[in-house]
Amino acid sequence: MTDHTVKSFGEQLETLSALVAQMGGLAEAQFASAIEAIARRDSQAAERAVGGDARIDEIQIEIEERALKLLALRQPMAVDLRETLAAIKTAAELERIGDLAKNIAKRAMVLNREPPIRLTQSLARMGKAAQNQLKQVLDSFSSRNAEEAENVWNRDGEIDEIYNSLFRELLTYMMEDPRTIGMGTHLLFVAKNIERAGDHCTNIAEVVYHMVRAGHLANNRPKADHTSETSVPFETRETHA
Amino acid sequence: MHESFSSALAKLRGNSWPVVIGMVAGGAVVLFVGAAMFWALLALALAAAMIAQFVTFQEPVLRPAEQNPDDPLALLPPLTRLLLEQLPMPVMLLDGAERVLFVNQSMRDVLGPGLDRKRASAVLRNPEVLAAIAGAGRGEASNVPFTLPVPIERYFQAYAARVSIAPPVTVLLLHDLTMVRRSEQMRADFVANASHELRTPLAAVTGFIDTLRGHAKDDADAREQFLEIMATETARMRRLINDLLSLTRIEMNEHVKPQGRVDLEGTVRQAVAALIPLAAEDGITVTVDAVPDLPPVVGEADELMQLFQNLIHNAIKYGREEGQVTITLAEADGQVIAAVRDDGEGIASAAIPRLTERFYRVDVKRSRERGGTGLGLAIVKHIVSRHQGRLSIESKLGEGSVFSVFLPAAARENAGKAPSPQPVTEML
């Protein structure tokens, strides 16, 4: 990263914000490559996603260092303080999203060695939904838009619902044919990783909301992931085409 | 002599200030005239350079920063500015701190409003493009491909170059490759989908032909029955091909904003009129319930017609016999909401988020029996997404389903400008 000539406190804060946006862009690109690797059985895209992780970690360290310096030397107050904290927190969430993308990409490499399966298309669609959330929440960060952040926060349930449906379908699938368990497990983890990425987006939404409004989004986040309580009874297996 | 000299000196000494002032003033006048001429010449040279650039699109002009250090854009002649504004290619000008100086309408269409004075990383986070902009700032022009994956996938080639050193100005041009990339992908997808989905009915038809040639050769009853089935199967293939073609067509244009204004109530009533005979077969009554004075929507009439035909057709197909299908039209928050309600069996909640996937069927056998292609709702989804609308599906088992479409309302005829449609994300 080229070192900016720092002229003012405002500029320092802005640089911090620009770095978060830049890191967001990297996370978006990495996540997009991971989803592409699944959707198009593209192992090159998977490699891009795995390789993109290092740069994200670098920027996270730079953000933390700059933020710490700012806190120590400038002792920011009110909105400036919240912006500094938001940068640190968002960077941490983005770093997690990067890790999840990397994991999805690694599993895509395994899946791409197996014969194609229609369910990967459903996963790709779920991935798109999460990508959308990531884009919207990063937009809300850049434009300091609390309402947009709140919308992202409210929409997480939709990803959870796709996850529930895929979870059930995969369980049924694996019960029908034990030979699919290996692949099914990878698919389950991919789905779970996408769902987790969606959760990190809602965390960022909370951070943005707090940064702009100084208040908190209510604690009862719309949680629609019921898979931790889901089982598919052996007798009622349904067949899917 | 000496006395006169000294008195003259004294005189001179006494009157020295006006002389000095006069000399300084004289010098200043000369300087001022010189500066004015300098600026006049400079302005002429600049104008000539601009015209040269305008005509030949040649080497960038290096302009003096002193002229207006706050706004390098003031250097652009109005005509050039208008030209940039109306260029169908997305254009962005950035200053030395990678802050947006100027974006034209095409760029706003791609990136959304509110871009002025923002940093490049805040408006276009793509790492390759940011690297290209940073490189351009150091004088290295580059050309990079990049993708905007959501909400609607778009492909671009981005060209970034420095056009002026002082003041520092970088230009970013985008070349839209979406159409090209889409047609490549579509062709591949079409072949894959068509060959997979056409195999089943084709196998059936082939099987019956073999039977008719073989042991059913002289059985008149069997022949009639088989021909009937073959007719049904070929009809299904035709529907499938039609649906695949319209899906392909809609996907091709999904990133192009619709331009027309559509009276939704008229469209819905027309769609209903075409489907009344089908509804009558199952004894289903279809009613349209619209609030008075509904605003038109921004949209493509043919596509919206297809959207409602598909939704109403589904409601009839999966509704209860002797049941009710109701279409309500209302307006809220600058959107027109059209809800198609049936009183059929309803859809299990696990299936709802998957309904708009192509070839996803809740009940494969039932869908086949009812002549479904598995593409109806995928088509609906793509039309809604092109119209920057939203589709919501609610259903209760045993009570029926409601498919609601939210579309941005257009300004009424008497009102002024159309409200800029809010990009509403469609998650299904």
Interface test with A, best of B118, B124, B125 (most A CBs within 10 A): B125
What are the residues of chain B with a beta carbon less than 8 Å away from any beta carbon of chain A?
114, 118-119, 121-128, 130, 134, 147, 149-151, 349-354, 357, 360-361, 364, 425, 427-428
pLDDT of the residue at B15: 47
Provide, as residue numbers in chain B, all residues whose Cβ is less than 8 Å from the Cβ of A168. Answer: 350
Q: Are B65 and B166 in contact (CB under 8 A)?
A: yes
Domains with residue ranges and CATH for chain A: 9-229 (1.20.58.220)
Distance from the Cα of A22 to chain B's closest Cα (Å) equals 6
The predicted-structure confidence for A154-204, as pLDDT tens digits, reads as follows: 888 889 988 998 998 899 889 988 888 989 999 999 999 999 999 999 999
Distance from the Cα of B352 to chain A's closest Cα (Å) equals 9
- Closest chain A CA to residue B193: A118
Which pair of tokens denotes residue B111?
Answer: 């990136």
Given an 8 Å threshold on Cβ–Cβ distance, is A241 in contact with B361? yes
On the question of pLDDT at A128 being above 60, the answer is yes
Instruction: Lowest mean pLDDT of A41-50, A128-137, A199-208, B51-60, name the range.
Output: B51-60
How is residue B281 annotated by DSSP? H
On the question of pLDDT at A1 being above 50, the answer is no
Given an 8 Å threshold on Cβ–Cβ distance, is A25 in contact with B130? yes
Q: Are B94 and B120 in contact (CB under 8 A)?
A: yes
Count, in order, helices (H) and strands (E) of chain A.
Answer: 7, 0
The closest of A125, A101, A117, A80 to A31, measured between CA atoms, is: A101
CA angle B64, B82, B145 (to 5 degrees): 85
pLDDT of the residue at A225: 67
| Rounded Cα distance, B8 and B19, in Å | 15
pLDDT confidence band for A2 (50 / 70 / 90): very low
The predicted-structure confidence for A77-105, as pLDDT tens digits, reads as follows: 888 899 999 999 999 999 999 999 999 99
Phi and psi torsions of A146, nearest 5°? -70, -35
CA angle A236, A178, A117 (to 5 degrees): 90
Phi and psi torsions of A205, nearest 5°? -60, -40
| Rounded Cα distance, B183 and B200, in Å | 27
pLDDT confidence band for A238 (50 / 70 / 90): very low
Distance from the Cα of B350 to chain A's closest Cα (Å) equals 5
Q: Are A130 and A192 in contact (CB under 8 A)?
A: no
Q: Are A88 and A63 in contact (CB under 8 A)?
A: yes
pLDDT of the residue at A219: 62
Closest CB to B357: pick one of A18, A24, A121. Answer: A121
Residues of chain B with pLDDT under 70: 1-70, 413-428
Q: Are B168 and B95 in contact (CB under 8 A)?
A: yes
| Rounded Cα distance, B208 and B204, in Å | 6
Distance from the Cα of A180 to chain B's closest Cα (Å) equals 20
- % of chain B at pLDDT higher than 70: 80
Residue with tokens 């170059």: B161
pLDDT of the residue at B249: 84
Which pair of tokens denotes residue B180?
Answer: 């090209």
Q: Between A226 and B210, where is the model more confident?
A: B210
Residue with tokens 């940039």: B84
Q: Which residues are CB-neighbours of B84 under 8 A, at least 6 positions away? A: B76, B91, B102, B104
Distance from the Cα of A161 to chain B's closest Cα (Å) equals 7
Which run of H or E residues covers position B105?
Answer: helix B105-111
pLDDT of the residue at B42: 53
Q: Are A195 and A163 in contact (CB under 8 A)?
A: yes
Given an 8 Å threshold on Cβ–Cβ distance, is B428 in contact with A29? no
pLDDT of the residue at B175: 92
Q: How many CB pairs under 8 A join A and B?
A: 79
Provide, as residue numbers in chain B, all residues whose Cβ is less than 8 Å from the Cβ of A97. Answer: none
Which run of H or E residues covers position B99?
Answer: none
